Homo-oligomer: A and B are copies of this chain.
Amino acid sequence: MSEAVGVGLIGLGTIGTGVVKVLQQNADVIEQRLGVPLRMVRIADLDLETDRGVDLSGITFDADTEGLLADPKVDIVIELIGGYGVAKKVTLEAIANGKHVVTANKALLALHGKEIFEAASKAGVDVAFEASVGGGIPILRSMREGLAANRIESLYGIMNGTTNYVLTEMEKTGEDFDVVLKRAQDLGYAEADPTFDVDGIDAAHKLTLLVAMAFGAELTYKDIPTEGIRHLTPMDFDAAAEFGYRIKLLGVAKSKTGADGVERIEAGVHPTMVPRDSLLANVDGAMNAISVHGDAVGPTLYYGAGAGEMPTASAVVGDLIEISREIRRGSAGRVSPLSYPSEKLVRKAEVPAAERIARCYLVFTVEDRPGVLGEITSILGENGVSIESVIQKPGVESGGAVPVLLLTHPAAEGSVRSALDEIDRLDSVSAPTRLVRIEEDL
């Protein structure tokens, strides 16, 4: 077989335009590697007017999604609509029509992946989604194939470029969250409604997919505790530096087998202090990196642009090439999309939040008078939380209150929360205590 593979694209926005560019500018190397040409034959979008600055000659370009999904010249459909509604309908219809699908839609897969992957498996077509996690980084492929010999023990990822940009800028400039977010929005690094990014929801969607692939666990987006970065202050970055850390928004997942022999998953998205000389600490700006630890390979790390027109298009077109290779060989479905076949994905228990062990950074806002620190430390002690170090800062908060920064030894989150509940009710404590987890072994 030496025919071209035909591609249909639904949604000609930024990423879609990047896909058209990559297929055009690298047509020669792609054909050399693949053996046949990979051709964009049809594009559907409601906006037929905007000039995207790419040459669409020879491509059928209209608003007829149904026509594209039924077009026999289209072997692979790229879904770049986003959201759960039309995107889901289009994806399932493409599968039903025997088309392979490439998507960058983590939200859709995190919530409806089970239904979509099962439909694809039955139809004997591939659903590829490398672009949905880590942008241009080939992280999903690495987990599914490169690390396939390993029992995955843990993973730690900077998986959202917007928040990493904001955190890097807050650290560098000492400015408040709101100021930096506004600038990020002006520069196009953050959306007008930044909720999905800054509240950790986007990272949690991605973590959901990684947890399934790492541990063979069913997709369980709703079960992932998620905390964003809105509450961080310039002082937290200073304190992190003093203690030898930097602050990153991490998606973290660990497999823990208890004394009862049952494997439980500990997954969450939260701001985290990471050791200053770790690789993850040195991932700045809009870049992403995911560290994956396997029982045989030990720690590995994958770094690159987590978003953007061309990096994301790189991942989409990489998927097109992989599927084209399978089309040529008749080997679709060679690798299960979530690494394990759907029927092997099992519901895995989670480590209850209260039992999760971590060192913590705590910021208390207290009256500047003798004895207050003693009250706090004794409440922590009564709850079994022991203290590693304390820094008392000169008063910077309003109302005569001063911040006290404290690092704990590893402690169960439940114990820390109980202690904080009690401490925050003290008359001498004038604002809710802030907590940032610390991860060392990443």
Contacts and interface: CB of A to CB of B under 8 A. Distances in A.
A326 B334 contact: yes
Interface string A297-319: 11111111100001101111110
Contact of A149 (B317, B328, B330): B317
A230 to B, nearest CB: 28
Interface string A15-28: 00010011001100
Contacts of A35: 341
Contacts of A147: 138, 314, 318
Contact of A33 (B294, B310, B336): B336
Interface string A112-141: 000000000000000000100000111001
A146 interface: yes
A346 B322 CA distance: 23
B314 A305 contact: no
A296 B331 contact: no
A326 B26 CA distance: 27
B318 A145 contact: yes
Nearest to A23: B149
Contacts of A336: 33
A12 to B, nearest CB: 17
Contact of A318 (B146, B216, B295): B146
Given A32-B340, A329-B329, A300 B137 contact: yes
A418 interface: no
Interface string A319-362: 01110011011110011100111001000000000000000000
Nearest to A303: B301
Given A279-B303, A300-B136, A314 B331 contact: no
A-B interface, 3 closest residue pairs, ranked by CB to CB distance from nearest = A138-B146, A149-B317, A331-B331
Interface of A: 18, 21-22, 25-26, 29-30, 32-35, 130, 136-138, 141-142, 145-151, 216, 277, 279, 282-283, 289, 294-305, 310-311, 313-318, 320-322, 325-326, 328-331, 334-336, 339-341, 344
26 contacts: A25-B151, A25-B295, A26-B149, A26-B296, A29-B216, A32-B216, A32-B340, A33-B336, A33-B339, A136-B297, A136-B298, A137-B300, A138-B141, A141-B145, A142-B302, A147-B314, A149-B318, A149-B321, A279-B303, A294-B314, A296-B311, A296-B313, A298-B304, A300-B302, A303-B303, A331-B331
